[in-house]
Structure 1
Amino acid sequence: MAAMSCSPLLAQNPIVQTWYTTDPAPMVHDGTLYIYTGHDEDNADFFWMQEWRIYSTKDMVNWTDHGSTVALETFSWADDRAWAAQCVERNGKFYFYICAHSKLSNGMAIGVAVADSPTGPFKDAIGKPLFDDGEWANIDPSVFIDDDGQAYICWGNPDLHFAKLNKDMISINGDVKHIEQTEESFGSPSPKERKKDVKYKDTYVEGPWMSKHNGKYYMIYAAGGIPEHIAYSMSDKPEGPWKYMGHAMPLQDTNSFTNHSGVIDFKGNSYFFYHTGKLPKGGGFARSVAVEQFKYNADGTFPEIKATDEGVAPIATFNPYRRVEAETIAFSKGVKSEPNEKTGIYISEIHDGDWIKVRNVDFGSQSPKQIEVAIASALRGGRLEIHIDSIKGEMISNITIPGTGGWENWKNIKSNISKDVTGIHDVYFVPKGRKGCKLFNFDWWKFSK
């Protein structure tokens, strides 16, 4: 595993640590940035992927886990390989474009699910694939809605498919085309025309992401073969012609032989999402989403974006005087998230030595008096220490956690704040108890004055 160059206490990348996450697709809606990801299974030896996961943030550093509300089971025609996907909003509906292995054709196919909320639940919009020709190139769909309302979809490895979507977002308008690849447009010719003994400037591989900034259109994609870097082409029109521009994220030590990007503007900033293999036990089949902030060059081109462990800075403070889901995390060690139909998502697999950080918490000018937590423990319980600024920073509360009679038998526990805390701090939740065993589950917390 590639070692992190900075302390995990200072790290912000990868942005999710509870599960392996892949192929990030950002979307902004109603003041919130949502990220839709794939999910590499633990201990996988191939791209064994069964579901897609959803996370959201308002400050770019604390991410709330919304679980998985769309999976292979959402699509009756799909049976394997829940690979890269993207969600877009139109007229109050949220359309989730996926690729998966098709039972109907025995190839990869493009599908679409729909929901009334950005976090689902999603259902298959048409009960069949949106596009399924039995080929294996139908992977990694990306959808873009232009300012005039026309929606476009592109996908493919090694060819690049392109089509218009109708206004209903669940049917294709006209024919699916192959975008011609040339040395001028993508760094090399289309796959069938490439010559083995020729070294080209670059090669399109997979994972297209179509976007627009200041009137310029961008096709961003994984390139170069194995290992992959991120390259891009630009155009004055959504259908091209395209011009190859070079690397957006050059090849570097990310401990992953694939990469997949999504680019978006949020609250006046530009962000570049990608994935690495930098979590413990991470690698090419155990990838994790990361993010960097960047600024476009004056001519609209990308700077060369470097992968960092530090990630991005917060763009807002975090309010602790409300119910906060325990699965809202800036960084963590050891813990997992789990779903329950009644409770929703909660944090589990909590052991002595684990921790959760929430970043840039603003306590204001008056110290809180209490913290309340919702906890469940089938057996022995333990303690939950609350520290500020680091794991070993000043402890402001020490909560005794009893057994509650079940892992989902929740009990609300209040504890006094032992020392005054005002202003902005990082808050660490540090479980303590018997070594090696699961201690308790954690649903939510709230400070009060």
Structure 2
Amino acid sequence: MQKNVKMICNNPIIRHKYTADPTALVYDDTLYLYTCHDEAPIGTEKYVIREWLCFSSSNLVEWNEHPVPLKSLDFKWSSGKAYASNVIHHKGTFYWYVAIEHAITNESAIGVAKSLSPKGHFKDARGSAIITLDMLPFTDNKKANLDPSVIIDNDGQPYIFWGNKTCYFAKLKENMIELEGKIGILDLPEFEEGIHIHKHNSWYYLSYGHQMPEKVAYAMSRNIQGPWEFKGILNELAGNCKTNRPAILDFKGKSYFFYHNGGLKDGGSHRRSVCVDYLYYNPDGTLKRVVMTSEGVGQV
């Protein structure tokens, strides 16, 4: 059954579970928030992620938790280890791109699931990984395939960005579950992981985990295929947590920056918590540095 989580608007916004690596979309006047579920027991300092969660809100104050829409083992080729993800809506279907460990190779891979509802349940759209390590140019990094982010360009062409230590990108075919053409590499300063792409007005933005521990930095371009201009830090180190992964979108006339920290009781790098604060654009299209707050955002 759907669980209604009513809370005062503050950060972290989800307080009864540890959540991380937010991805979000707006559909039917509702914001849907998807997160990893950090399940590492207290005292365990390693990632234990086996499923992703779904929450929704019409006002960013009250959040409805929906039944678990997707688990790593819903992909039969998965070992069960899960990482960050990205959900998008395209032509009536919701596509969920996830980073998981491949059961045969024990290397990170990208999978894709789909559903006709933003709440799921989502099912493996291929029966196999869309991206595996042997497809990448010049790498032996077993965690190279992390943190996918997908965008549909104005001409209808979908693109996927992802990576760990190196940022990769590629076109997707119209069916959204196959790559089209070669995999490219982007030279982003001190790129760690956690890539997120979005577009605002005529600018494309790549936000990502920068250095380690991770701040969030960003680059801008007029063309999705570059060149990209590095613009600096967008978000400082998140409290009590070595990683960060942003999600940026507009909702009911304002712009929002979702991220995670270790702000809940017994929280930390492996028991993280999703937060949200306002995002502001300068007149020239650059981004103002995000101010992380305990208060969070006001009711929409």
Higher mean displacement: 97-106 or 237-246: 97-106
Of 292, 315, 320, the match for 2:277: 292
**Structure 2 residue matching 1:83: 3-state secondary structure:** strand
Question: Match for residue 199 of structure 1?
Answer: none
Q: Residues 238-286 of structure 1: CA distance to partner in whole angstroms, max 9, x if unpaired? A: 011100001110235x111111100001111000000010011111110
**Structure 2 residue matching 1:255: 3-state secondary structure:** coil
Give, in whole Å, the separation in 2 of the partners of 1:74 and 1:309.
36
Give, in whole Å, the separation in 2 of the partners of 1:174 and 1:11.
45
Q: TM-score, normalised by structure 1?
A: 0.62
Q: Residues 408-448 of structure 1: CA distance to partner in whole angstroms, max 9, x if unpaired? A: xxxxxxxxxxxxxxxxxxxxxxxxxxxxxxxxxxxxxxxxx
Question: Match for residue 262 of structure 1?
Answer: 247
Q: Residues 205-258 of structure 1: CA distance to partner in whole angstroms, max 9, x if unpaired? A: 101001100110001001022x11000000010011100001110235x11111
**Structure 2 residue matching 1:156: 3-state secondary structure:** strand
Question: Match for residue 171 of structure 1?
Answer: 178
Question: Match for residue 234 of structure 1?
Answer: 220
Give, in whole Å, the separation in 1 of the partners of 2:33 and 2:131.
24
> Percent identity, aligned pairs only?
41
**Structure 1 residue matching 2:82: 3-state secondary structure:** coil
Question: Match for residue 128 of structure 1?
Answer: 128
Residues 36-435 of structure 1 aligned to structure 2 (within 5 Å): 36-43=34-41, 44-133=44-133, 135-179=142-186, 181=187, 186-187=188-189, 203-225=190-212, 227-251=213-237, 254-315=239-300
Question: Match for residue 17 of structure 1?
Answer: 15
Q: Is the 8 A contact 1:94 1:116 kept in 2?
A: yes
The change in CA–CA distance for 1:70 and 1:10 in structure 2 (over 3 A counts) is closer
Q: Residues 152-171 of structure 1: CA distance to partner in whole angstroms, max 9, x if unpaired? A: 00100111110001111011
Alignment-mate amino acid for residue 292 of structure 1: D
Give, in whole Å, the separation in 1 of the partners of 2:69 and 2:255.
27
Alignment-mate amino acid for residue 19 of structure 1: K
- How many pairs does the alignment contain? 285
User: Cα distance, 1:80 vs. partner?
Assistant: 2.9
- Kindly report the root-mean-square deviation, in angstroms, between the aligned alpha carbons of the 2 structures: 1.3
Give, in whole Å, the separation in 2 of the partners of 1:314 and 1:22.
22
Q: Is the 8 A contact 1:105 1:133 kept in 2?
A: no
User: Cα distance, 1:30 vs. partner?
Assistant: 1.2
Q: TM-score, normalised by structure 2?
A: 0.92
Question: Match for residue 382 of structure 1?
Answer: none
Q: Is the 8 A contact 1:105 1:132 kept in 2?
A: no
Give, in whole Å, the separation in 2 of the partners of 1:88 and 1:112.
11
Question: Match for residue 137 of structure 2?
Answer: none
Give, in whole Å, the separation in 2 of the partners of 1:161 and 1:289.
25
Alignment-mate amino acid for residue 163 of structure 1: A
Give, in whole Å, the separation in 1 of the partners of 2:8 and 2:19.
20
- Which stretches in structure 2 are left out of the alignment for 5+ residues? 1-6, 135-141
User: Cα distance, 1:136 vs. partner?
Assistant: 2.1
Give, in whole Å, the separation in 2 of the partners of 1:245 and 1:158.
19
Alignment-mate amino acid for residue 33 of structure 2: I
**Structure 1 residue matching 2:248: 3-state secondary structure:** strand
Alignment-mate amino acid for residue 305 of structure 1: V
- Which stretches in structure 1 are left out of the alignment for 5+ residues? 1-8, 188-202, 316-449
Q: Residues 103-161 of structure 1: CA distance to partner in whole angstroms, max 9, x if unpaired? A: 13221000000101001011000000001125420010000111211110010011111
Q: Is the 8 A contact 1:94 1:118 kept in 2?
A: yes
User: Cα distance, 1:55 vs. partner?
Assistant: 0.6
Give, in whole Å, the separation in 1 of the partners of 2:8 and 2:22.
22
Of 30, 33, 43, the match for 2:31: 33
Normalized per residue, the structure richer in strand is: 2
Alignment-mate amino acid for residue 211 of structure 2: G
Give, in whole Å, the separation in 1 of the partners of 2:205 and 2:264.
30
Give, in whole Å, the separation in 1 of the partners of 2:50 and 2:99.
11
**Structure 1 residue matching 2:73: 3-state secondary structure:** helix
Give, in whole Å, the separation in 2 of the partners of 1:249 and 1:276.
12
Alignment-mate amino acid for residue 239 of structure 1: Q
